[in-house]
Chains A and B, each alone.
Chain A
Amino acid sequence: MDKFRYLPMTEKDQHEMLETIGVSHLEELFEDIPNEIRFQGDLNIEKALDETSLVKEMTRLAEKNRHLKEYPSFLGAGVYEHYIPSVVNHMLLRSEFYTAYTPYQPEISQGELQGIFEFQTMICELTGMEIANSSMYDGPTALAEAAMMSAGQTKKKTILVSKTVHPEARQVLKTSAKGQNLTVIEIDEKDGVTDLDHLKSEYNEDTASVILQYPNFFGQIEDLEAAEKIAHQGKSLFIVSSNPVSLGVLQPPGEYGADVVVGDAQPFGIPTQLGGPHCGYFAVTKKLMRKVPGRLVGQTTDDHGQRGFVLTLQAREQHIRRDKATSNICSNQALNALGASIAMSALGKNGLREMAEQNVQKAHYARKQLEKNGVKVVTEKPFFNEFVVRLPKPVKEVNEKLMAEGIIGGFDLSRFYENKENDMLIAVTELRTKEEIDQFASVLGGVQ
């Protein structure tokens, strides 16, 4: 192939342009690149494909995968399959949104800016916080940024994080902490929730922040009221990571005095996509407004008093502050933030509550059915849409059996927890039907 549909250059164009430049060959434009580092020959990558062959090849790859629209799934563990209204994708395909850059020219970016302003508002409403930014990469990196911010704000060096926080979020946190020379101490789990006595004993004057997840990695509801009291004994920040769908039914962390609430808006209209891109959110109290990483959209007016929106408080950001910036984040997940806003608008106040309650109902129904089928349930305390069961066999083996029955099983906790060898974390959203749950329970019950 030597013709490319994205390249409009013709031979005539090229000739005329070279003449204007005053060179006779295209090659002359590259004479400043020393010969010794010029690449010779063709790159050793696969040859170009025409559009039809390309679709065929990509379809071949896609069809090698088993996906969630094909098989009922009980996987969660930080990434959830929920109802996605068709309207979300249609609006995201408005190319004025997806082919735009960051809205640095507000006069021609009012759509994006207003959409993000609405996103910020929705996140504030859900979390019970006063300020939310325009998005982060994902929940775990948002959590790590929150920890970094707490160290900057308090001038303290130790982060206390519960072992009931998503293991991959803790891994990202540890990598980030290394960069800033901070110490991360993990607080033990007890009966599926944070061991508050351990938290108390590790807390001291060097604690920059206390981090909990709500509902936690095992689906359980942490005692934020008690944890907040411990976190706020001194000057440290109380950071809560939260699945935003659960906040349709649970008391928001803001009501418990959280200083920072982070998480991932993926459950709102964003496909699972093998783990990314999703949409981190970051919400804080008013006091921390000027410490927030990333972009913020603010409302203002033009010369005629007409309402408009701009990126604001940019003095925090890397393109202005360079090495003094509060974070190095530049690109975020704006398009997904827009997608999440559209999904939240579609759900509305009542739909959100209904969806959250259905998750609670169905997860508890599944728990009951599993118990009925003789499966040992580990989770005893209140949970949202996930709980843990203990199987007589390694989860990996059981999942193979489930796959053979056309079901994608739950998450294998032994992957991250040594003491949970045969424990499966099961997520049940509003999408699982009674029939699917019953079949799942019957297969799991049959495991000897």
Chain B
Amino acid sequence: MNEKNQALIFELSKEGRTGHSLPELDIEEMDMDELIPSQHRRKEEPELPEVSELQIVRHYTALSRRNHGVDSGFYPLGSCTMKYNPKINEDMARLSGFAHLHPYQEESSIQGALELMYKLQRSLEEITGMDQVTLQPAAGAHGEWTGLMLIRAYHEANGDHQRTKVIVPDSAHGTNPASAVVAGFESVTVKSNERGLVDLDHLREIAGEDTAALMLTNPNTLGLFEEQIVEMAEIIHEAGGKLYYDGANSNAILGITRPGDMGFDVVHLNLHKTFTTPHGGGGPGSGPVGVKQDLVPYLPAPLIIQDKDKYRFDYHIPESIGRVKPFYGNFGINVRAYTYIRTMGPAGLRKVSEYAVLNANYMLRRLEPYFDAPYTQHCKHEFVLSGKRQKKLGVRTLDMAKRLLDFGYHPPTIYFPINVEECLMVEPTETESKETLDEFCDAMIQIAKEAEESPEVVQEAPHHTVIDRLDETTAARKPVLRYKKEA
């Protein structure tokens, strides 16, 4: 990545160039004024670029070279599960029989798609230990909101209108409290103890008649398993609340333990994390939701059911919360996830989690002499370090993250979870080799040494990227959110 400034595609535009080949109009052209009266018609044309096909190819190729993906190099971004995105998934999703289906085709003409969705529902139910899965939610946060709306509908059906609070740990993903509010709840924080786990005494204190649900990630965002999950489930269930499982960290538990068996009532999965569908630079994802039997009546319609040797949509869900998304979810993403599940099978999925956990523990032990490790127990698929020691030397976690860019790595998640000072959160995933983990650890150790011996090297990083640190303050104070052609 050493290219200079890349022009905007608008700056490449020249009047009269074209990059398309539309079909010829094969009917007799009618007068546009007679079809759509001129008062409805556009007066000024939108400034889309006029470029040739090769210019487009060069432009986007140049942009891609200014971007780092999993295929470019190690991407240990905690809580994001940046594992390898298998190529076959991409091929399968592009089969015409999947890519070019219209959502309003007759059921009889999309039996293969329905079969795939049905089998994916069943597989995800088995993996999570839940009774019914809906594939409708588009992403993790969308799944959270859907799940909370289901819980709300359940409580309201029981006349429990006073259950207005959703309990969220202080280490939770930002989407948890945000989803709670969007679903009409108030978000209440439960504290973590010195071992990084939910403080059970505090949970007992705040759980009560107003509790709608507890949202929990397990392993939690510190990468630690909530050992007392069974007791927590009891506390919440005795108070009359429901347990919500944020599946962002499912990569640690496949075939090892299941949210349904831990006592959770609702689960969402991020297929773009655990099930290898690509993150796409921010999306699209897919966030299926699974529930226990007592919440099934509230699921969004339609579900896919098997009816003898046929598959069909079931719209008959009278108490449903209603639709959360048009059509049937992000089908194209679900095809990829199903392809992955069929690639791995039960034994493979279990190995995924075993190796994800082994890799994380290995890195933790290699790195803990050089950084502060706030929690000493075995981690699951990810772990946190604190840059407190380096901060005293004038080197911030942000600086170390930027320095890692010089080594060709995407840095770990930083400053999250918010309850760990100068936090670095590392998630290696199972698809990385020991050699890669070792090289990364060596780089981290070198940076820790630089912080002691030549801190400016770290403070002024990155040194080898296409661009230096950007002025984010001005970006926010005087926002320029679009290009405008100079008059």
Q: Is residue B158 within 8 Å, beta carbon to beta carbon, of the partner chain?
A: no
Establish whether residues A17 and B467, one from each chain, have CB atoms under 8 Å apart when the complex forms. Answer: no
Establish whether residues A68 and B102, one from each chain, have CB atoms under 8 Å apart when the complex forms. Answer: yes
Q: Is residue A287 within 8 Å, beta carbon to beta carbon, of the partner chain?
A: no
A39's partner among B64, B115, B258 (CB-CB below 8 A) is: B258
Establish whether residues A31 and B347, one from each chain, have CB atoms under 8 Å apart when the complex forms. Answer: no
Please report the total number of A residues contacting B with Cβ < 8 Å.
209
Mark contacts of B155-182 with chain A using CB atoms, 8 A cut-off: 1 yes-contact digit, 0 otherwise. Answer: 0000000000000000001110111111
A66's partner among B109, B174, B328, B430 (CB-CB below 8 A) is: B109
A9–B330 Cα distance when bound, in Å, is 32
Establish whether residues A22 and B365, one from each chain, have CB atoms under 8 Å apart when the complex forms. Answer: yes
Establish whether residues A175 and B64, one from each chain, have CB atoms under 8 Å apart when the complex forms. Answer: no
Which residues on B sit within 8 Å (CB–CB) of A18? 358
A28–B180 Cα distance when bound, in Å, is 36
Q: How many Å from the CB of B430 to the closest CB on chain A?
A: 6
Q: Is residue B419 within 8 Å, beta carbon to beta carbon, of the partner chain?
A: no
* B8-57 contacts to A (CB < 8 Å): 8-10, 13, 17-23, 25-27, 29-30, 32, 35-37, 39-43, 45-51, 53, 56-57
Which residues on A sit within 8 Å (CB–CB) of B347? 1-2, 42, 48
Which residues on A sit within 8 Å (CB–CB) of B22? 83, 351, 354-355, 358, 430
A399's partner among B106, B272, B378 (CB-CB below 8 A) is: B106
Q: Residue of B at shortest CB range from A62?
A: B97
Q: Residue of B at shortest CB range from A409?
A: B106
Establish whether residues A301 and B101, one from each chain, have CB atoms under 8 Å apart when the complex forms. Answer: no
Q: How large is the interface on B (under 10, 10 to 19, 20 to 34, 35 or more residues)?
A: 35 or more
* B466-487 contacts to A (CB < 8 Å): 466-472, 474-476, 479-483
B410's partner among A37, A38, A105 (CB-CB below 8 A) is: A105
Q: Residue of A at shortest CB range from B99?
A: A271
Q: Is residue A267 within 8 Å, beta carbon to beta carbon, of the partner chain?
A: no
Which residues on B sit within 8 Å (CB–CB) of A237? none
Establish whether residues A99 and B141, one from each chain, have CB atoms under 8 Å apart when the complex forms. Answer: no
Establish whether residues A103 and B346, one from each chain, have CB atoms under 8 Å apart when the complex forms. Answer: no
Which residues on A sit within 8 Å (CB–CB) of B358? 9, 14, 17-18, 21, 26, 29
Establish whether residues B65 and A65, one from each chain, have CB atoms under 8 Å apart when the complex forms. Answer: no
Establish whether residues A29 and B378, one from each chain, have CB atoms under 8 Å apart when the complex forms. Answer: yes
A411–B416 Cα distance when bound, in Å, is 48
Establish whether residues B10 and A118, one from each chain, have CB atoms under 8 Å apart when the complex forms. Answer: yes
Establish whether residues B6 and A110, one from each chain, have CB atoms under 8 Å apart when the complex forms. Answer: yes
Which residues on A sit within 8 Å (CB–CB) of B140? 330-331
Establish whether residues B325 and A107, one from each chain, have CB atoms under 8 Å apart when the complex forms. Answer: no
Q: Is residue B72 within 8 Å, beta carbon to beta carbon, of the partner chain?
A: yes
Establish whether residues A250 and B104, one from each chain, have CB atoms under 8 Å apart when the complex forms. Answer: no
Establish whether residues B323 and A332, one from each chain, have CB atoms under 8 Å apart when the complex forms. Answer: no
Establish whether residues A221 and B182, one from each chain, have CB atoms under 8 Å apart when the complex forms. Answer: no
- Contacts A48-B347, A67-B97; is A352 near B64 (CB within 8 Å)? no
Binds A, one of B142-150, B200-208, B447-455: B142-150
A147–B72 Cα distance when bound, in Å, is 40
Which residues on B sit within 8 Å (CB–CB) of A431? 23
A334–B279 Cα distance when bound, in Å, is 9
Q: Residue of A at shortest CB range from B149?
A: A179
A17–B366 Cα distance when bound, in Å, is 10
- Contacts A48-B344, A48-B345, A331-B139; is A96 near B65 (CB within 8 Å)? yes
Which residues on A sit within 8 Å (CB–CB) of B469? 107, 302-303
A137's partner among B77, B138, B465 (CB-CB below 8 A) is: B138
Q: Residue of B at shortest CB range from A169?
A: B326
Mark contacts of B237-266 with chain A using CB atoms, 8 A cut-off: 1 yes-contact digit, 0 otherwise. Answer: 000000000000000001111100110000
A332's partner among B51, B173, B177, B282 (CB-CB below 8 A) is: B282
Establish whether residues A328 and B282, one from each chain, have CB atoms under 8 Å apart when the complex forms. Answer: no
Establish whether residues B48 and A348, one from each chain, have CB atoms under 8 Å apart when the complex forms. Answer: yes
A28–B361 Cα distance when bound, in Å, is 11
A18–B355 Cα distance when bound, in Å, is 11
Q: How many Å from the CB of B247 to the closest CB on chain A?
A: 13
Establish whether residues B98 and A274, one from each chain, have CB atoms under 8 Å apart when the complex forms. Answer: yes
Q: How many Å from the CB of A73 to the closest CB on chain B?
A: 6
A180's partner among B80, B182, B257 (CB-CB below 8 A) is: B182
Establish whether residues A272 and B100, one from each chain, have CB atoms under 8 Å apart when the complex forms. Answer: yes
Establish whether residues A87 and B53, one from each chain, have CB atoms under 8 Å apart when the complex forms. Answer: yes
B71's partner among A99, A110, A273 (CB-CB below 8 A) is: A99
A382's partner among B6, B36, B329 (CB-CB below 8 A) is: B36
What are 26 A-B pairs at a CB distance below 8 A?
A: A6-B86, A44-B126, A58-B339, A67-B96, A67-B99, A94-B60, A96-B65, A107-B469, A108-B405, A109-B66, A137-B139, A168-B323, A172-B326, A175-B321, A175-B324, A179-B152, A179-B184, A251-B43, A271-B100, A272-B102, A274-B331, A276-B328, A312-B476, A347-B48, A349-B45, A361-B29
Q: What are the nearest 9 A-B pairs in CB distance?
A: A275-B327, A48-B345, A62-B97, A64-B112, A335-B280, A275-B103, A99-B69, A111-B67, A277-B284
**Seed contacts A64-B113, A108-B405, A174-B322; 7 additional CB < 8 Å A-B pairs:** A109-B67, A121-B482, A275-B326, A275-B328, A310-B472, A325-B178, A403-B106
